[in-house]
Amino acid sequence: MTGTDNAPMTAAVHHVEIWVPDLSRAAASWGWVLNRLGWKDGDGWPGGMTWTAPDGSYVVVEQSPAMSAAEHDRMRPGMNHLALNAASRAEVDGIVAEAVAHGWTLMFADRHPYAGGPQHYAAFLHNEDGYEVEIVAPG
């Protein structure tokens, strides 16, 4: 895959910015899952922080004073969920086992780990602010 100048792309996504109603709560839940997947803590400032993936893409979590609503609703227009790669099925399972202690709840428990289909090994988690993350095993 190449960019428009025919130079190789290092990551398909540059960054994703997520506005949250409570930065400390978001930092705890998002920080845990991103660190657990090998992302590194990045810059922080009074209203936000970042985590960087090994490929250089990054996630920004920000509590912006410009937010127009106090809560996220993944069922409304906008982002429904963020899907992140795990290294293995064992990593997906480990994250599920630890998730509740870090503010995440397993969704679709009756169909886990195949809630996305019979060939799609993944965990769908949501946190108390209504954000969903999908942790996907390779293959």
pLDDT value, residue 1: 44
Contact 33, 102 (CB under 8 A): yes
Average pLDDT value for residue range 39-61:
96
3-state SS of the chain is CECCCCCECCCCCCEEEEECCCHHHHHHHHHHHHHHCCCEEEEEECCEEEEECCCCCEEEEECCCCCCCCCCCCCCCCCCCEEEECCCHHHHHHHHHHHHHHCEEECCCCCCCCCCCCCCCEEEEEECCCCEEEEECCC
Average pLDDT value for residue range 56-84:
89
pTM above 0.85, yes or no: yes
Both tokens of 13, joined, read: 């996504």
Topology of the domain covering 15-136: 2,3-Dihydroxybiphenyl 1,2-Dioxygenase; domain 1 (3.10.180)
Domain boundaries, the chain: 15-136
Residue 20 has pLDDT above 50, yes or no: yes
Q: What is the mean pLDDT of the chain?
A: 92
Instruction: Give the length of the chain.
Output: 139
